[in-house]
Amino acid sequence: MASVIADEKSYNVPALCVRLGLAGGSADDAHRSKFRYAQQRIMALDAPAVIAAAKALLLEQPRDDLVEAVAMIDELPGPNITPLTRRRLMALFDGAPLSTELDHLELIRKVWPIDTMPSGYERDDWTMTDRLFQHTVRNDDMSNREILEALGWLTCSRARLFRFLEEVTGPEAQTPERQAELAGKIDAVLVHDGYRLVVAGKMSGSPVYAVKAAPVGSPADDAISDKLRGFDPTEVAGRWQEAMDSREASPGRAITLARTLLEDVCKWIITEAGETYREGDDLPALYRQLSKLLKLAPDDHTEQVFKQILGACQSVVESLGALRNKLGDAHSLGPRRARPLPRHAALAVTLSGGMATFLVETWQARKGEAAAAGAG
């Protein structure tokens, strides 16, 4: 902060310090050493006052180094992004271009002020733009890992890191296929530090992602997420994530997504099994077809306890379909209908995720049994 103030003309420094809430003084004192003048007055403040002064200074001098320093202070109370997570995220860009649709320097320029950043390397008169152009355009001898390390990826603020993740997964930066793949992989890494990469909007029909603090859910959430991500990391896992993220803010949306998640899983497994379904089939019809395929119908078992459990599963599926029609956001609730609450959404989403996981694991077990029988 003192170095930013010291960049002012000495005769302006006293007035600037006063505007920032620092003690006043004479222009002669500032002329002898602008940095020492500012530093002495900053040291006289307590921590909250220093932060307030720094934010006030940003309004007059939006210097990138000061922006980063203030951001890091503001981020102290939140969950940290560990160096291990940063390295795992960095590894996602190994062997692939940073962007498939946008020039890589243009993408980087959205996040880092590379035209004014020192290169930290080679000639003193080079900016970071000069360095990156030399080693990624003129000579292709700088890996994505080296690029990100040079930009300060491992030590930058969470705000800057998250902004890059949002820009690099944006629809202007990636093809739809690469966007979905990359977003799923980034989300799978971030979740371990308490964050998620979620769909925050649309641009011309394509998703726009944002990093958000992960909502606190049930202990089963992570296990279901891992299983569904392994089954289908984009559509099915994405639907589950949307349902979880909507539980508190949009219960009706969460209930609709809970039903859609089960429809997705039923259709995927039926298709993988080489069978077809009618486009007009609703969730109960799809589940009945799948339960026969996986031998999950109560009549497929003789033991009463299994009949009861599988009958209860069928009831859960049918109830989710009915709940969506009554409380989901697919239809108008009208002025007299009951409004879903977050606890209703949490129940629907948890039941849907549990059933989806059960169906996926049963299908994988059936494939394993068939493969073993074929090998025998």
Q: What is the CA radius of gyration of the chain?
A: 28
DSSP state of 138: I
Evaluate the CA torsion angle 324, 328, 334, 335 in order and state its sign: positive
Residues 10 and 34 in one domain: yes
pLDDT value of position 336: 44
Q: Using alpha carbons only, what angle is made at residue 210 by residues 63 and 116, rounded to the nearest 5 degrees?
A: 25
Do 197 and 123 lie in one domain? The reply is: yes
pLDDT of residue 322: 81
Host domain of residue 289: 251-375
The reported pLDDT for the residue numbered 75 is 79
From 202, 188, 200, 292, select the one nearest 245 (Cα to Cα): 200
Does residue 226 form part of some domain? no
The verdict on residue 233 lying in a domain is no
Residues 87 and 202 in one domain: yes
Assess whether 152 and 55 both reside in one domain: no
Q: Are residues 203 and 305 in the same domain?
A: no
Asked if residue 219 belongs to a domain, the reply is: no
> The tokens of 26 are what?
């004479």
Is 164 found in the same domain as 145? yes
Place of tokens 């994988």: 364
| 210 & 97 share domain | yes
Asked if residue 309 and residue 291 are part of one domain, the reply reads: yes
**Whole-number pLDDT of residue 98:** 94
Assess if residue 126 is contained within a domain.
Answer: yes
- Output the pLDDT for position 372: 84
Q: What is the pTM of this model?
A: 0.58
Please report the pLDDT score of residue 115 as a whole number: 94
Q: Please tell me whether residues 207 and 116 are part of one structural domain.
A: yes
Residue 332 resides in a domain? yes
Look at the chain and report how many structural domains it folds into: 3
Residues 109, 68 within the same domain: no
Q: Are 275 and 366 members of one domain?
A: yes
Q: Is residue 64 part of a domain?
A: yes
Q: How far is it, in rounded angstroms, from Cα 132 to Cα 291?
A: 57
In a domain, 199, yes or no: yes
Q: How many helices (H) and strands (E) does the chain have?
A: 18, 2
Per-residue pLDDT tens listing for the chain (376 residues):
788 888 889 888 889 889 888 888 888 888 889 888 888 888 888 888 888 888 888 888 888 878 888 888 887 777 789 999 999 999 999 989 999 999 999 999 999 999 999 888 767 789 999 999 999 999 989 999 999 999 999 999 999 999 999 999 999 999 999 998 999 899 889 988 888 898 888 999 899 999 988 765 555 687 888 889 888 878 888 889 888 888 877 888 889 999 999 999 999 999 999 999 998 899 999 999 999 999 887 777 777 887 888 888 888 888 887 876 666 555 444 554 567 788 888 889 999 999 999 999 999 999 988 888 877 6
Q: Is residue 89 part of a domain?
A: yes
| Torsions phi, psi for 142 (to 5 deg) | -130, 120
Domain match, 199 and 138 both: yes
